[in-house]
Structure 1
């Protein structure tokens, strides 16, 4: 039976690379995002007492970032980039902010990745514009066979340990938890959702905390937060795992004061 590669494994790899000035990873496959296509996308540089690593996230409101619980666990400082589809290089649309305030779900389990969700609070609200806009948090349960998009700056192959400088995205389809258990067994709980792209497209190291979204009409909806990949590697055909966001809409609302659709 196939198994989780827990996010902590991602971090060990990412920390070693980051220490040498090369942040880690990118989405496997997919396309490079257009300027302003995903205006809620957040690039999060995390610092703990003895290490640094990279995560993704999604802006909700003008002062809150939704990400993975593992991305804030024992964190001391976040440096967050918004408004840009690149991590480095000149971009007048890039806004860089720092904060140390976060809210980790009280039932987060670092061993099983159950309730793998957190909210980061920015010190001040960011100015919303044509390149920075929040995403709505879904309050509906999207089941299997829902078309969704996953995005991030993570690794594009198992053999390339560097972060993508460009935001990438892939088209995915959500699976039923029953089908996902064929890959991961009873470790899959109701708080999780799996999604698979074409062949081996999916998330990789550095994509943890990034958004799984659906689009339609005028607004995108956040339905998942990237949480885990298979121990068979990023380039395997195993589905990627996410935290199922609708179950946490009330918890997010209690912190941020915002509901989605």
Structure 2
């Protein structure tokens, strides 16, 4: 990508199974996105220092731009202790296209804030934010998504998007390419989710999506689940996990419910960093 490269803080230079999503995969059977369709969508690579003799950049997760300084993503994307820095891509459709207009920003791992109760009980509180050291310049390709408001009933037809797996083979090999894809998903009620999972640990702080052949898969982690409401695009969820490594349509997919964490986002981002 030869778009604008902005250097932030970089001292040295970043699904599904009931565990957590694998890297490098994307929306199964998704539709190809077009320019300006998802201006809030980002993805990021991480700099892995597990091998100090050969540090590498590895494709990691997606995220959602919610202001000039803040990205929301999934906490589980930062479980590895050897992640040292993050390279974030804005305004991108094809990760392999070096001529795309867009922006890149390098930030230190210290810019990531992970929910303090993530991992204490199961995989709940799967939310993190990335604080950007400078304002991102908005344009027709790069714009923030709006956060939900408490008390508003939003549509149940949602859009999931990401660069995750496009297909999983019988031997669980994931097939992927470099293009952003999306798919329509149906949000389940809490009662429907409990019934389909047959479990009692489904909390109100998560969103369940109805099983579908067009499902999020590994590498879509941290990406957005959005709905259209009164002319605005609203970020309802953050891609969290699923229950099989094959990304099949047997079980609902699980998203972190953004509305449950509005106070946490405000407290950790800071009000001035949420200005758009």
Shorter chain as denominator, the TM-score bin is: 0.7 to 0.9
Q: Distance in 2 between matches of 1:233 and 1:189?
A: 24
1:71 is paired with a residue whose SS is: helix
Name the counterpart of 2:218. 205
- Contact 1:66 / 1:117 at 8 angstroms: preserved in 2? yes
- How far the C-alpha of 1:6 sits from its partner, in A, is 3.3
Name the counterpart of 2:260. 247
- The residue correspondences of 1:160-239 to structure 2 (distance < 5 A) are 161-184=174-197, 185-196=199-210, 199-231=212-244, 233-239=246-252
| C-alpha RMSD over aligned residues | 2.4
Name the counterpart of 2:6. none
Confirm or deny that 1:88 pairs with 2:101.
Answer: no
Q: Distance in 1 between matches of 2:19 and 2:44?
A: 15
- Contact 1:143 / 1:176 at 8 angstroms: preserved in 2? no
- How far the C-alpha of 1:27 sits from its partner, in A, is 0.2
Name the counterpart of 1:148. 158
- How far the C-alpha of 1:86 sits from its partner, in A, is 1.3
1:5 is paired with a residue whose SS is: coil
- Deviations for 1:36-70, whole angstroms, at most 9, x for unmatched residues? 00000001112343274410100011111100011
- How far the C-alpha of 1:216 sits from its partner, in A, is 3.1
- Contact 2:168 / 2:175 at 8 angstroms: preserved in 1? no
Point out 4+ residue stretches in structure 1 off by more than 4 angstroms: 141-145
- How far the C-alpha of 1:144 sits from its partner, in A, is 9.4
Name the counterpart of 2:28. 28
- The residue correspondences of 1:22-101 to structure 2 (distance < 5 A) are 24-50=24-50, 52-73=58-79, 74=81, 75-100=83-108, 101=111
TM normalised by structure 1 equals 0.85
Confirm or deny that 1:157 pairs with 2:167.
Answer: yes
Can you give the 5+ residue segments of structure 1 that lack an aligned partner in the other structure?
15-23
2:187 is paired with a residue whose SS is: strand
Name the CA shift for 1:59/1:247 in 2 (closer, same or farther; >3 Å).
same
Name the CA shift for 1:254/1:36 in 2 (closer, same or farther; >3 Å).
same
Can you give the 5+ residue segments of structure 2 that lack an aligned partner in the other structure?
1-15, 51-55
Higher helix share: 1
- How far the C-alpha of 1:162 sits from its partner, in A, is 4.1
2:77 is paired with a residue whose SS is: helix
Name the CA shift for 1:79/1:60 in 2 (closer, same or farther; >3 Å).
same
Q: Distance in 2 between matches of 1:104 and 1:149?
A: 25
- How far the C-alpha of 1:141 sits from its partner, in A, is 6.2
Name the counterpart of 2:11. none
2:43 is paired with a residue whose SS is: strand
